[in-house]
Every structure is written in structure tokens, then in C-alpha cells.
């Protein structure tokens, strides 16, 4: 009968190169940065391993990260890109991180350039919003996106803040306002469809 060995997981064991300690973003009260997403990616990887999936596929990890991001953004009543697009964005960001990590070398010359690359990457991800908003308009007041992709006026200030200084936090979901927005969007969609059918 084989003995079951208990593996003690230390902070050093779970720390990811470049991004540092894994991070659970479940209780976060701001929209996640690129750094938050990468750290949560590692947190999900560790969770999957603890569930018995010893070599979890990156796409599976990215799907779980996407689900969490969609939950967080929903709290702020801001429309997001499609699930597939978010998964693609996560995998792209993770690939950037991996490329830098693979460029690490014992050679002094390469070690110096690696350090510069890491510092540059960290400065980009630390306070930069992982922006999955369906609207990419720089001026939200002049947005020309279709109704379902538009950011509600009540959330303009918050999204602008999260894309810049990041001083504001997410409040609870305003159920009444959310229903109003959904009804308004449905009316606009019906009106647009009606106009299109008349022009055919």
C-alpha cells in the first residue's frame, strides 16, 4: 500500500516569474488591471492543479479568468466584448509575458536586457486597465457604437477613471437602473430593425 505524501506549498513555490504571487480577484472593487489578470491566471492554474488537473491547458485557464472578468464588469453595468474575444485577449497578454520570461539567460549581457524588458513590461501592466469594454471610443459622449455596446451615461465617469487614474471603486449593482438600460436598449434595437425593414 503506497503512502500519500503531503506537499507543502510555499509562497516561493506559487510565485510566478515576472508577475509575482497569484491573486484571487473575486472580491476586487475596481476593474482589474493587466497585472491583476496575469496574477489571477496563475491563481486559476493553481486551483485547477489542486482539483487534479496537473497540466491545465491555457485556454481552459483563460476561460475561467474570462468568466470572472465578466462577473466583475457586470457589477459596473459596463458592456463587454464577446467571451471568445476576451479569451483571445487574455492568451495574447499571457503570451507576451511568457516571451519575456523565456528570454531570461545566465549570460550577463542577456540578463541586463532581460531586466530592462521585465521593468518595461511591469510598468505597462501594473496600472493599466485590462480593457474588455465593448466600446473603445475615446470620447464616450460622442460614441457611435450600436446600443448594446454603448456605455451607460451614468458609468462614463467611472470607466474614464478606470482607464486613467483609477481612484473610483465599483458600487453594488443598481438593479432598477440596469433594467432601465436593458429596456432602453431593446427599444432602440426594435426601432433600428423597423427602419431597416422599411428600407428593404
pLDDT in tens, 15-55: 777 898 999 999 999 999 999 999 999 999 999 999 999 89
What radius of gyration, in Å, describes the C-alpha atoms of the chain?
A: 21
Q: Is the pLDDT of residue 122 over 60?
A: yes
Residue bearing the bigger pLDDT, 20 or 89: 89
- Strands, E, within 47-111: which ranges? none
155-163: Cβ within 8 A, 24+ apart: 155/76, 155/77, 155/78, 158/76, 158/78, 159/76, 159/78, 159/133, 162/30, 162/31, 162/129, 163/129, 163/131
Q: Is the pLDDT of residue 61 over 90?
A: yes
Q: What angle do CA 64, 70, 72 make, to 5 degrees?
A: 105
Dihedral (C-alpha) 18, 21, 27, 30: value to the nearest 10 degrees?
-30
Residue 6 pLDDT: 43
Q: Is the pLDDT of residue 119 over 70?
A: yes
Q: Is the pLDDT of residue 197 over 50?
A: yes
Contacts of 56 (CB under 8 A, 6+ apart): 44, 45, 48, 49
Q: Is the pLDDT of residue 172 over 60?
A: no
Does residue 36 contact residue 134 with C-beta atoms inside 8 Å?
no
In 3D, which of 194, 196, 185 has the Cα closest to residue 150? 185
Q: What is the mean pLDDT of residues 156-170?
A: 95
How far is it, in rounded angstroms, from Cα 171 to Cα 78?
Answer: 12
Q: Is the pLDDT of residue 1 over 50?
A: no
Residue 194 pLDDT: 66
Q: What is the mean pLDDT of residues 93-106?
A: 84
pTM value is 0.77
Does residue 133 contact residue 60 with C-beta atoms inside 8 Å?
no
Amino acid at each position: 500500500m503506497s503512502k500519500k505524501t503531503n506537499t507543502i506549498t510555499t509562497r516561493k513555490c506559487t510565485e510566478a516569474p515576472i508577475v509575482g504571487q497569484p491573486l484571487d480577484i473575486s472580491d476586487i472593487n475596481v476593474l482589474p488591471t493587466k497585472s491583476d489578470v496575469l496574477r489571477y491566471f496563475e491563481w486559476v492554474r493553481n486551483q485547477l492543479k489542486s482539483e487534479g488537473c496537473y497540466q491545465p491547458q491555457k485556454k481552459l485557464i483563460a476561460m475561467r479568468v474570462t468568466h470572472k472578468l465578466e462577473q466583475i464588469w457586470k457589477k459596473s453595468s459596463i458592456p463587454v466584448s464577446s467571451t471568445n474575444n476576451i479569451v483571445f485577449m487574455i492568451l495574447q497578454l499571457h503570451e507576451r509575458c511568457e516571451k519575456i520570461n523565456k528570454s531570461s539567460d545566465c549570460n550577463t549581457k542577456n540578463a541586463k536586457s532581460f531586466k530592462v524588458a521585465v521593468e518595461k513590461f511591469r510598468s505597462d501592466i501594473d496600472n493599466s486597465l485590462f480593457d474588455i469594454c465593448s466600446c473603445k471610443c475615446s470620447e464616450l459622449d460622442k460614441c457611435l457604437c450600436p446600443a448594446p455596446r454603448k456605455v451607460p451615461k451614468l458609468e462614463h465617469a467611472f470607466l474614464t477613471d478606470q482607464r486613467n487614474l483609477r481612484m473610483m471603486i465599483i458600487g453594488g449593482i443598481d438593479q432598477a437602473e440596469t433594467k432601465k438600460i436593458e429596456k432602453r436598449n431593446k427599444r432602440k434595437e426594435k426601432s433600428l430593425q423597423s427602419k431597416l425593414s422599411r428600407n428593404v
